[in-house]
Amino acid sequence: MSEKKIVLKSSDGKTIDVAKAVALQSQTITHMVEDSCVGNEIPFENVTGQVLAKVIEYCKKHVVVDGETLTCKTVAHVIHTRTIDEIRTFFNVENDYTPRKKQ
């Protein structure tokens, strides 16, 4: 059984498979994972399947946004610390400006 997946079980018996990294975006889920050591299945006695699904949807979006922020910061760093030519090389940006005619 993969250690990277968690199974969340709602009060009405529905189960949702979720990547661990995604599920842990939620503090509540993190606490429950820490508390209940029953294999990989986490019961949510007070939460219906519908609500649980929405929570997971949010968590998935959250992970992507974090990745986005990290990448923005890194690209920004590259732009700040390198010359234009170096930036072009780094990201493979093609210089499609037509050179000015020498006068």
Question: What count of other Cβ atoms lies within 10 Å of the Cβ of residue 22?
Answer: 21
Q: What's the chain's length in residues?
A: 103
- Min dist CB 102 to other proteins, Å, is 18
Binding mask 37-76 for other proteins (x = CB under 8 A): ---------------------------x--xx-xxxxxxx
From candidates 27, 80, 99, 101, binder to other proteins by CB under 8 A: 80
88 binds other proteins (CB under 8 A): yes
DSSP 41-70: EEE-TT--HHHHHHHHHHHHHHHHHHHHHH
Measured between alpha carbons, how far apart are the two ends of the chain, in Å?
Answer: 71
Q: What are the residues binding other proteins (CB under 8 A)?
A: 64, 67-68, 70-76, 79-80, 84, 87-88, 91-97
